[in-house]
């Protein structure tokens, strides 16, 4: 993860700027401690999470997808691969489970300064949302 003072962190910070504050969370990637995912793993700090949807300022919980590293192919049809790039700040290919979980907005706000790696690209967000629609609503034809 980049330190706050380096240039790559500044570039990623600029990528999150938006005129609509509800969209500020959409696509953000934050390394979430494992205890917030509901388990503990010795020697592991956390797993990346991708914020999934626009957030109403009054919304207490935010939908987020848990990521994990893995092989070139996932055995699960409900996983979505995101390759690392300068915008998302991931260090290796990451599979996001297409099962929304809800984490407290306040917890994510506190993690954001130190654990935010970047933001999914517009293309990755569009692909992810289309795949999520397909998984959650197989009859939609998407």
The pTM for the full model equals: 0.76
Please give the pLDDT value at position 136: 80
Which residue range forms the structural domain that includes residue 106?
7-15+22-136
Please give the pLDDT value at position 20: 65
d(CA 3, CA 62): 25
- Specify if 141 maps to a domain: no
- Specify if 2 maps to a domain: no
CA 89 to each of CA 42, 118, 133: distance values in angstroms, whole numbers, following the listed order:
24, 5, 25
- Specify if 87 maps to a domain: yes
d(CA 125, CA 84): 14
d(CA 87, CA 37): 24
- Specify if 71 maps to a domain: yes
Q: What pLDDT band is residue 56 in, cutting at 50, 70 and 90?
A: confident
- Specify if 142 maps to a domain: no
Please give the pLDDT value at position 24: 77
Please give the pLDDT value at position 85: 95
Q: What is the mean pLDDT of residues 95-124?
A: 90
CATH, residue 131: 2.30.30.110
Domain count, the chain: 1
Q: What is the mean pLDDT of residues 4-8?
A: 40
């Amino acid at each position: 993860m980049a330190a706050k003072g380096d240039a790559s962190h500044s570039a990623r910070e600029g990528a999150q700027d938006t005129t609509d504050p509800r969209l500020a969370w959409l696509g953000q990637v934050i390394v979430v401690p494992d205890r917030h995912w509901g388990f503990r793993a010795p020697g592991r700090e956390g797993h990346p999470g991708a914020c999934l949807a626009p957030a109403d300022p009054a919304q207490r919980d935010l939908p987020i997808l848990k990521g994990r590293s893995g092989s070139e192919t996932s055995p699960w049809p409900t996983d979505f691969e995101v390759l690392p790039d300068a915008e998302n700040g991931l260090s290796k290919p990451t599979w996001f489970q297409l099962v929304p979980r809800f984490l407290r907005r306040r917890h994510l706000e506190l993690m954001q300064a130190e654990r935010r790696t970047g933001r999914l690209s517009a293309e990755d967000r569009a692909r992810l949302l289309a795949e999520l629609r397909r998984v959650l609503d197989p009859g939609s034809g998407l």
